[in-house]
Amino acid sequence: MALNLLVVDDSSITRNIIKKILRMTRLELGEIWEASNGREALDLMRKNWVDLVLADLNMPDMNGAEMIDVMAGDALLSKLPIVVVSSEGNQTVLDSLAKKGVREFLRKPFEPVLLQEIITRVLGEGH
């Protein structure tokens, strides 16, 4: 089954790098949607089937933590797996996000192989 992913980052360069890395993995990919902030991401999640969200934290308009708060309070979106891809290193912030359902954290910059490993771990071996 092909995976539909949402990449949320205010940097178009970072979104493009993540998409390029995703295409180099052995994951079976469907759609890869992009959003430049949490507000755009929530809109895309509500309109499309998304299997996994890869989200930065530091973004304008609505940051990743605010987006995760909205998702946690939404019956449908609260079940959606989230992987934070960020340079954030504050353990208190990361711990609070884990309590809100964030499955994994991938610290920028990262080794490309880690992205596939984390997605496989979050979604299960069948992906």
Residue-wise pLDDT tens digits, 27-54? 999 999 999 999 999 999 999 999 999 9
Per the structure, the complete domain to which residue 98 belongs is given by: 3-123
Query: What span, in angstroms and rounded, lies between the C-alpha atoms of 89 and 26?
Result: 29
Q: What CATH number is attached to the domain comprising 56?
A: 3.40.50.2300
Instruction: Evaluate if residue 7 carries a pLDDT over 70.
Output: yes
* Angle, helix 12-24 to helix 112-123, in steps of 10 degrees: 70
Structural domains of the chain, count? 1
* Single-letter amino acid code for the residue at 91: Q
The per-residue pLDDT for range 73-113, each reduced to its tens digit, is 999 999 999 999 999 888 898 899 998 889 999 999 888 89
pTM: 0.94
Burial of 71 (0-12, 13-18, 19+ CB in 10 A): buried
Q: What is the pLDDT of residue 86?
A: 93
Instruction: Evaluate if residue 5 carries a pLDDT over 90.
Output: yes
Classify residue 125 by its DSSP letter: T
Helices (H) and strands (E) in the chain, counts: 5, 5
Q: Which helix (H) or strand (E) holds 86?
A: strand 82-86
Provide the pLDDT confidence category of residue 126 given band limits of 50, 70 and 90.
low
